[in-house]
Amino acid sequence: MKQKITLKHIARELGVSISTVSKALKNSEEISVDTKEKIQAFAKLYNYKPNNIAVSLKNKRTKNIGVVIPDIVHHFFTTVFRGIEKYANGQGYNVIICVSDESFDKEVINMEMLNNGSIDGFIMSLSAETQQKNDINHLREVVDQGIPLVLFDRVTDDIDCDKVILNDREIAYKATVKLLEEGRKRIALATTESYFNVSEKRAEGYKQALTEYGIELDDNLVLVLPYDDIKEEVINDFFEREAVDAVLSVNEIFAIQCMSVAKKRGMKIPEDISFIGFTDGLLSRYSNPRLTVVAQHGVTMGEEAAKMLIDRVEREIDGNDEEAYRTHIVEATIIERESTKN
């Protein structure tokens, strides 16, 4: 087992000083060609690599970014993460990831765990519980300390920082219009509890479209489902109770499940009923019929978030940190598949 080699080792071995070695390895003009070659050869031979930790301590920057997300076993977050990781690695940054598991406490703990010099900035999407309580002191603290923070998707208006969001309201509006243009009259909205800001925004778009098309809002057509452990009967009861000819769902699971129940009830898709879901995941692509979806372009969101964060981190280093906070809006698109007419 060969130990990691340091400047000190090289210096001692070659009978020169540490700073000579340091300069030689940076190809400094100060050092004679001879010694440079000797030192560089030696360093290469022993595969010298500067110790990142020491460099971080010196530079007061780690080239690490911290990502705190509610869930990793979830297609959307996974794609966003992919975008973050891709961009960050390209810029020489590493990504430390923590999962809050939709828990406020874990979110706070995760942030504290990272906020001790381990990272140069945060990229986050709020946990369900955090959105519900709307307790954001942990975010405020980070911002107050001057640590760059980028929020994506599940954001809050109560904190001033960079943000990356989807045009949720507009795309929900468009999706609803699409259903209306198909001639649908009784469009249901399958959604989560209302404390998710994105669900709220999507509901707004849905309602706006209906209103514009002169259709009276009917709260009975709004089906609120729990995040997990969905019971088929609930959905079946819903279809039993309400005559529905289209469903807009804020995620793909709800859409798939509603579609499944509709099929069992003998409805033809998309002849009798249309479906559109948010999230272009595997479920939508491999369902039967394949689901028309709102693609959230998670990778783009992630890349953009990482770019905003790293830009700000590097700007701070250069001293001109007083750039105004921006909110970048990623444009969702509708991918038409078999669950809608066209």
Say whether residue 282 binds a copy of itself (CB under 8 A).
yes
In the window 316-335, what residues touch a copy of itself (CB under 8 A)?
none
- Shorter beta-carbon distance to DNA: residue 15 or 92: 15
Say whether residue 50 binds a copy of itself (CB under 8 A).
yes
- Shorter beta-carbon distance to DNA: residue 20 or 176: 20
Q: For the chain, how far is it from start to end, CA to CA, in angstroms?
A: 65
- Distance, CA of 267 to CA of 261 (rounded, Å): 9
Least Å from the CB of residue 151 to a copy of itself = 18
**Mask for 250-269, x = binds a copy of itself (CB under 8 A):** ---x--xx--x--x------
CA dihedral 286, 288, 293, 295 (to 10 degrees): 0
- Distance, CA of 103 to CA of 126 (rounded, Å): 9
Scan for tokens 């001293």, then name that residue. 319
Is 103 in contact with 126 (CB distance < 8 Å)? no
- Distance, CA of 44 to CA of 337 (rounded, Å): 56
Strand extents, DSSP E, the chain? 64-69, 94-99, 121-124, 149-152, 162-166, 187-191, 222-224, 246-249, 274-278, 292-295, 327-330, 333-335
**Mask for 5-44, x = binds DNA (CB under 7 A):** -xxx------xxxxxx-xx-xx-xxxxx-xxx--------
Residues in contact with DNA by the rule CB under 7 A: 4, 6-8, 15-20, 22-23, 25-26, 28-32, 34-36, 48-51, 54-55, 57-58, 60
Residues in contact with a copy of itself by the rule CB under 8 A: 1-4, 47, 49-54, 56-57, 62, 64, 72-73, 75, 78-79, 81-82, 85-86, 89, 92, 94-99, 110, 112-118, 141, 144-146, 253, 256-257, 260, 263, 281-283, 286-288
